[in-house]
Amino acid sequence: MDIDKLFKVPKVPTGGNKRRMPDLPSAKMLKKMRLDSESASDSTAPDSQSHSTVPSKRVTTVHDEVDADNDVEGVAFAPGNDADYFAEEDEEGRFFGGGLTSEQKEILNLFDNAGSDQVPDDSETLSSSGIKKLLLRLERAANKNQVQRSKYPDDPTKFIDSEADLDATIKALLPLAQVPKVAYPLLIGSGQLETLVGLLSHENADIALDIIELIHELTDEDVGEDAEEDAEEDPEQREAALKNLIGALLDHSVLELLVDNMTRFNEAEESDRQGIFHILGIFENFVGSKPPLAERLVLKTKLLPWLLNRIQSKTHEENRGYAAELLSILLQGSRLNRLELGEKDGIETLLNVASLFRRRDPTDTDETEFMENIFDSLCSTLAEAENKKLFLKSEGVDLMVLTMMDKMQARACAVKALDHAMSGHAGSEACMVFIEALGLKYLFNAFMGKSLKKQKGAAQTPGPEETTHTLGILSSLFTNLPSDSPARIRLLAKFVESNYEKTDKLLDIRTSAQARLAVVDRDIDAEKKALLEADEEVENEEDAWYLRRLDGGLYTLQTVDYILAWIVMERDEIRTHALQMLNRRNMSFKDVVSTLQIFSDNIDDGEGNDSDGISQREILQHLMAFLESC
């Protein structure tokens, strides 16, 4: 038996003092370590003809007591000539050699010391004096680079060092986001903010990318949240400091410079692609802090055409998804932005992108979010009557009906878009086009919960949002379709066919909405009682409570009862069946009237006229009068 094989030390030392290779060792160091290892291994190979053991790298030698007594001083007997093999031991005398020679350990120690020398002391750097030093260093680095570039414009070797210093100086400013209430006033007051913004136009795109990353970091909504000091005061002070910084950046036309840089970068390069991501993040940060900036971005810069072009990319990746998300944000709260999108052929663009999901589902969650943002943008634009006309001109209704027909994931999004397109008096023409495009068939498939393609043959309950928008489309149809028109007769016939199954479905939705609303009402009653007992005013909470009730089922209940009132008034057989089904639930038409009265009391005066110019409130009054007479 070969004792050497039984006691061979593993190649990787397992002791607690094991060192790790630096992330980026030099080629010279690696070559030297390899040569040292090979030479040590070759010179200490064991003699296969003898039972005695010759010292070799990482081989443990067994000695008798006599061998220990005869040991000669000065012999290099440690495995691998490990300098600390016997020095590194615990209290009981066990040793844990690292497996490295003295020279190798010295090399690694040099790396460790070099790394530790470059780590700044955060407490010193982020103090007021430390921040001033960083800003002074930025000023000097920027001036030096500018001078050398001007002096040697055709010889990059003359200014490459100053450019590297400028790059490092900009990166050193990133930690300022940790202390916004200290750093931001100093940055604004020092005048170096103008220097930073000016560097966005630097000839070296890498310098501009550094500035973009820095601005993205400094304007993030979570700046300074990791700071532990003055935790109670931080939120308000952080927000004030952030808004002041954004205001100062806007004074230096930062938005326009950022948009100009977007056309400068090539997203085929990873660094440029990351730069575009940071720019989009900056815009989101700005709008999140100051919502009115959304109109400045759309109306005063060339961002909107860039976004519309970017979302048309054939391959999906992160920046395409971010562009769609930012577009949705910019359109949500601004009529001017929505009209501007219509003038830039944005409706046509959005429909082209939406058509990609007509016959295929998104490949992953990121693309699903992208699809939803595209449809959300489309729905936002359809809030304007001018854009509804453009939607019809681009055959948007037909595309949405075809999307519903194909029963892919985009079906729910198409139902939502149609709900927005057909709502109000401006949606009357869209309602007629919807009927002509045979949309009723696919609408009631969704209404009855007919399955998507991947689940064909299985029952499926539509999601709450899809049900809400389906009901919204039915409500718009009853409001906008002319009386006694063929389209309206076809709509009413749907509630009679198949033994009133769609009328029954409507009543089932009503029961479910009532149950959800009852829970919310109990909570509100408890809150109201507590306020009265404390002698506090309850009138101030009425609007908030009404909104909670709408979200808790009242909106669905109002829409259902509005549709129910129409079909009951226009078809006698439906009225008889509906009354019978309500009686089984211990209800009557009085319950429907009660819901419609709440609807009428809270409706805006100028909301929704039908084709004859009758207001929504007048329609509700006629419906309630009929039901009360039944």
Instruction: Name the average pLDDT for the chain.
Output: 83
Domain C-terminal end among 228, 255, 290: 290
Structural domain of residue 26, as residue ranges?
Answer: 3-117
Answer yes or no: is pLDDT of 269 > 70: yes
| Same-domain status, 12 and 147 | no
| Same-domain status, 266 and 284 | yes
Please choose, from the candidates 359, 267, 271, the residue with its C-alpha nearest in 3D space to the C-alpha of residue 320.
Answer: 267
| Same-domain status, 27 and 169 | no
**407 is written with which tokens?**
């029963």
Range scoring the smallest mean pLDDT among 6-15, 491-500, 586-595: 6-15
| Same-domain status, 607 and 514 | yes
Dist. CA 457–CA 400, nearest whole Å: 23
Which CATH number do you get for residue 167? 1.25.10.10
| Same-domain status, 71 and 183 | no
Range scoring the smallest mean pLDDT among 101-105, 135-139, 181-185: 101-105
| Same-domain status, 153 and 249 | yes
| Same-domain status, 91 and 140 | no
Please choose, from the candidates 345, 305, 352, 357, the residue with its C-alpha nearest in 3D space to the C-alpha of residue 327.
Answer: 305
Answer yes or no: is pLDDT of 375 > 60: yes
- Within-domain flag for 339: no
Percent of the chain whose predicted confidence (pLDDT) is above 90: 65
Dist. CA 609–CA 614, nearest whole Å: 5
- Within-domain flag for 546: yes
pLDDT given at position 532: 87
- Within-domain flag for 564: yes
**Distance, first Cα to last Cα, the chain:** 106
Answer yes or no: is pLDDT of 444 > 80: yes
Domain C-terminal end among 290, 307, 332: 290
Neighbours of 441 (CB within 10 A): 12
**Contact (Cβ atoms closer than 8 angstroms) between residue 454 and residue 406:** no
- Within-domain flag for 526: yes
Collect contacts of 544-548 with beta carbons under 8 A, ≥24 apart.
Answer: 546/602, 548/520, 548/524
Per-residue pLDDT, averaged over 129-149, amounts to 93
**Contact (Cβ atoms closer than 8 angstroms) between residue 25 and residue 96:** no
pLDDT given at position 546: 94
**87 is written with which tokens?**
């020095």
| Same-domain status, 22 and 72 | yes
Amino acid at 604: D
| Same-domain status, 191 and 275 | yes
Dist. CA 482–CA 488, nearest whole Å: 7
Dist. CA 114–CA 252, nearest whole Å: 40
- Within-domain flag for 110: yes
Dist. CA 591–CA 243, nearest whole Å: 51
Per-residue pLDDT, averaged over 585-610, amounts to 83
Dist. CA 202–CA 104, nearest whole Å: 44
Neighbours of 506 (CB within 10 A): 23
Answer yes or no: is pLDDT of 430 > 80: yes
Dist. CA 167–CA 161, nearest whole Å: 10
Per-residue pLDDT, averaged over 112-133, amounts to 66
- Within-domain flag for 552: yes
Per-residue pLDDT, averaged over 497-505, amounts to 95
| Same-domain status, 131 and 279 | yes
Range scoring the smallest mean pLDDT among 23-27, 109-113, 182-186, 517-521: 23-27
3-state secondary structure of 426: helix
- Within-domain flag for 448: no
- Residues forming beta bridges with residue 95, ordered by sequence position: 89
Range scoring the smallest mean pLDDT among 38-42, 155-159, 235-239, 257-261: 38-42
Number of domains in the chain: 3
Range scoring the smallest mean pLDDT among 24-33, 257-266, 403-412: 24-33
The number of residues in the chain equals: 630
| Same-domain status, 95 and 192 | no
The kind and range of the H/E element at 402 are helix 396-406
Collect contacts of 333-339 with beta carbons under 8 A, ≥24 apart.
Answer: 333/291, 333/294, 334/294, 334/295, 334/298, 335/383, 335/384, 336/295, 336/298, 336/299, 337/294, 337/295, 337/298, 337/299, 337/304, 338/380, 338/381, 338/383, 338/384, 338/387, 339/384, 339/386, 339/387
| Same-domain status, 93 and 225 | no
Write out pLDDT tens, residues 472-492.
999 999 999 999 899 999 999
- Within-domain flag for 424: no
Q: How confident is residue 108, by pLDDT bands cut at 50, 70 and 90?
A: low
Answer yes or no: is pLDDT of 411 > 90: yes
- DSSP secondary structure, 430-474, as one string: HHHHHHHTTHHHHHHHHHTTPPPGGGTTS--PPPHHHHHHHHHHH
Count Cβ atoms within 10 A of the Cβ of residue 235 and give its class: 0-12 exposed, 13-18 middle, 19 or more buried: exposed
Range scoring the smallest mean pLDDT among 93-102, 401-410, 529-538: 93-102
Q: How confident is residue 225, by pLDDT bands cut at 50, 70 and 90?
A: confident
Domain C-terminal end among 64, 84, 117: 117
Q: Is the pTM of this model over 0.95?
A: no
